[in-house]
Homo-oligomer: A and B are copies of this chain.
Amino acid sequence: MNRPTVVRTRDELRNVLAPARRAGRTIGLVPTMGALHDGHLSLLRAARQRCDVVVMSLFVNPMQFGPQEDFASYPRDEERDVALAGQVGVDVVYAPDAAHVYPPDFATFVEVGGGLTDVLCGDPGRRGPSHFRGVTTVVAKLFNAVEPDVAFFGQKDAQQAIVIQRMVRDLEFNIEIVVLPTVREPDGLAMSSRNAYLSPDDRVRARALNQALTKVLEVAKAGETSTERALAEARAVLAEAGIEPEYLEARDAENLTPVTRFGPRPVLVAVAARVGRARLIDNVVVDATPANEPMAASVDTTGGAPCVGRC
């Protein structure tokens, strides 16, 4: 594969995309913070398959990191990321500087409310809704800079995907959002750029996140309707690995209101936990609606995981 064209400014980006846009070719965007793993690659491959032109953005967005978080240490290796992007057929890598994205008197924010951003990873006692404000603001900017027909996000950051879908609907962006399944390691751990922070011991313990969620799927499939009882079993799995979750909750998969029973609407079961130096997240969707083979899609291990936002 060819090396992608790397551009640093929105003007360069628009210039390089102009001929394709004039010719009516479709443009796909995969927003990333780099440190690419197989989750990102599955998004990029899907974009390659679906669109005429594939743009990957590569920007570690300071606005979505809290003051106590790992912005400074977040893994950065542009050369490697660009090479990997080239291997899966990315045409353009948009890698702007922070000063280009946020001029000194930057003052505009896009904020999604509606109970979607102040729960789970946005809970004021955790990262707070300003995390998602950072995500939606930068994604709105990327949407306007790239003007894609389709943008690809991963189900690993489930709350982020829900928030972005709401933003797209509410602000009427003319962009199709595709959310692809979480990609996992062979032992079930969700792919994440932050897995690199795990010591060998922590790497073993981290398997418990997926195991706990798989337990929820199992007991729900076996007929358990109480989310509380299912979550208690999951909590036991985590405890056995010495993991105290930051949260482990069952919420409506569309509007994130708390749910006490599985079905008829799909239920998002989401977990966040610190394992050693890494803050990890994972989730499954329990879908007991009659039309679906219960939960079959939720344990898919072949799809994509995102990392534009992190949670």
State the A residues within 8 Å of B (CB). Answer: 10, 14, 22, 24, 103, 105-116, 136-137, 140-141, 144-145, 147, 166-167, 169-174, 255
Please give, as numbers and ranges, the residues of chain B lying within 8 Å of A111 by CB-CB distance: 108-111
A107 to B141, CA, bound (A): 18
Contact of A172 among B10, B22, B169 (CB under 8 A): B10
What is the predominant secondary structure among interface residues of chain A facing chain B? Answer: mixed
Point out the residues of chain B lying under 8 angstroms from A137, CB to CB. 171
Complex formed: what's the CA distance from A144 to B113 in Å? 20
9 sampled A-B residue pairs with Cβ under 8 A? A107-B115, A108-B136, A108-B171, A109-B110, A109-B111, A110-B110, A141-B172, A144-B172, A144-B174
Contact of A166 among B24, B107, B141, B174 (CB under 8 A): B107
Most buried by B among A112, A137, A140, A255: A140
Identical chains bound together, number:
2
- Contact A106 to B170, CB < 8 A, known contacts A22-B24, A24-B22, A111-B111: yes
Is there contact, CB below 8 Å, between B116 and A112? no
A22 to B21, CA, bound (A): 9
In the bound complex, CA of A171 to CA of B147 (Å): 12
* A112 surroundings in chain B (CB, below 8 A): 107-108
Is the CB–CB distance between A105 and B255 below 8 Å?
yes
Among residues of B, the one whose C-beta sits closest to the C-beta of A112 is: B108
Distance A14 CA – B174 CA, assembled complex (angstroms): 9
Residues of B with C-beta under 8 A to A141: 170-172
Residues of B within 8 A of A108 (CB): 110-114, 136, 166-167, 170-171
Closest-by-CB residue of B relative to A114 is B107
Set B24, B144, B169: member contacting A171, Cβ < 8 A: B144
The answer for the CA separation of A10 and B112 in the assembled complex, in Å, is: 21
Residues of B within 8 A of A22 (CB): 24
| A101, chain B: closest CB distance, angstroms | 9
Query: How far apart are the CA atoms of A189 and B53 in the complex, in Å?
Result: 53
- In the bound complex, how far is the Cα of B105 from the Cα of A141, in angstroms? 23
Contact (Cβ within 8 A) A140 B109:
no
Q: How far is the CA of A144 from the CA of B255 in the complex (A)?
A: 24
Chain B residue at smallest Cβ distance from A102: B170
A141 to B172, CA, bound (A): 6
Please report the C-alpha to C-alpha distance between residue A56 and residue B293 in the assembled complex, in whole angstroms: 48
Given A22-B24, A24-B22: A107 in contact with B170 (beta carbons within 8 A): yes
